Amino acid sequence: MKTFNCFFIFPKIKNAASLSDFQELTEKYSSMLQTTLATLDFVNALEQHPSLFFPFMCYTETKLTADAVENIFQVQLSQPGSTNRLEEARVLSYWRDYLLYLEEKEASPFLEDVLMFGTGLKEVPPAAIQPQLVFQKNFQFPMANVCTNTIKIPILPSYEEFQAAMDYGMQNSPGFGLP
């Protein structure tokens, strides 16, 4: 990790023994990682082009935005020109408005909750993920499958109903340690 000049947030060290143990573990696993990466001359590529690997290997704390969440989800639309596609286009605009609404909000749910709801993650991981955004008829609330990184959003007649359903669905679904 020294190659990238990235160091992760260190756990709280309570005493010198903990610090010593932490340093020992860090050196041990760093050495193991370097040995593993030396296979196929990967370390050499890392040293020559660290900026190319930085986004995949190093954690950076960034504020989640509506645009970022929108770009993370890959939208699954019906055939162009179909009735379903027209409804999906309308609801897709609700989805985008909803993300903007969450970005400006100061109370739950937040954009991080959308990511948690659909992927089980609180933050965008360094390695890119491609969660799916799917439209579902005959359901009033959103559903998610974190194993497949999928959010199914309801096709509702108005933005107000969509927003209320999304808020309710995310706030009342079991989560992964969300406070």
Phi–psi pair at 74, nearest 5 degrees: -90, 120
3-state secondary structure 15-37: CHHHHHHHHHHHHHHHHHHHHHH
From the list 17, 40, 107, 147, the catalytic residue is: 147
Count of all residues that appear for the chain in the document = 179
Alpha-helical segments (H) within the chain: 16-38, 42-48, 50-57, 66-72, 83-104, 111-119, 159-171
Cα–Cα distance list, 76 to 85, 117, 133, 153, 170 (Å): 10, 18, 6, 11, 20
The yes-or-no answer on residue 6 being catalytic is no
Intra-chain end-to-end CA distance of the chain, in Å: 32
Residues annotated as catalytic (active site), given as ranges = 147
